[in-house]
Amino acid sequence: MNEKQMVGEKAVEYIKDGMVVGLGTGSTAYYTITKLGELVRNGFNIKGIPTSEQTAALAVEQGITLVDFKDVNQIDVAIDGADEFDADLNLIKGGGGALLREKIIANAASIFIVIADSSKGAKKLGAFPLPVEIVTFGADMTTKKIAELGCEPKLRLTGNQPFITDNGNYILDCDFKHIESPKEMELQLNKIPGVVENGLFVNMADRLITIENGELVEKTK
């Protein structure tokens, strides 16, 4: 069993029968969703709210019932991966292109559990280029304004064409090298007109499940 599978399946222990669950996007969340599908096929009853169209398709394939925000009062638990985390459980997310929906769902959840393999830990965030979702209108100007914060933004591509999010926007992958104050950077980015959301998840994770020295470990704020 690889590290992603270890942490992804461990998180399922926090899901109880009857819960509404935020379903993350990416290669680690894949193992959470497939494990949940196994439980559902054995009689487990949950409802899922997916963070992406990709996740929605996987959940349906696994037999998990999906619901919309309008159909529920709360999300009990959200489980999602991270591209980078620091000792304070601040995160960079968005490598899979779903950061906006991921942040909405994480913010709405009573408990937000992050699953990440040992390679994702960092003393300071920023080695992983920070994804920033921007509207297509005025994208060049928005990119210039973001660059003024001290990074090199690159438009994410699929082949030769811009990558388009599930929300119809672009993503800029912004190389900051390291981010001294994630909270301040989050606020500065979101003040720029044209920025929809950024991949800094500050003070949002309630629990981190990761691997240290080959063993599962859990960390809380």
199 annotated ligand-binding residue: no
142 annotated ligand-binding residue: no
Catalytic site includes residue 102? yes
Long-range contacts of 145-154 (CB under 8 A, 24+ apart): 145/192, 145/193, 145/194, 146/172, 146/174, 146/189, 146/192, 146/195, 149/176, 149/185, 149/188, 149/189, 150/176, 151/175, 151/176, 154/129
82 annotated ligand-binding residue: yes
140 annotated ligand-binding residue: no
Strands 207-212 vs 215-220: parallel, antiparallel or unpaired = antiparallel
143 annotated ligand-binding residue: no
199 is written with which tokens? 């991949």
Question: Which candidate in 3, 9, 84, 102 is catalytic?
Answer: 102
139 annotated ligand-binding residue: no
Strands 20-23 vs 75-81: parallel, antiparallel or unpaired = parallel
48 annotated ligand-binding residue: no
155 is written with which tokens? 């438009």
94 annotated ligand-binding residue: yes
Which residues carry a binding-site annotation?
Answer: 25-28, 80-83, 93-96, 120
Which residues carry a binding-site annotation for substrate?
Answer: 25-28, 80-83, 93-96, 120
What is the set of active-site residues? 102
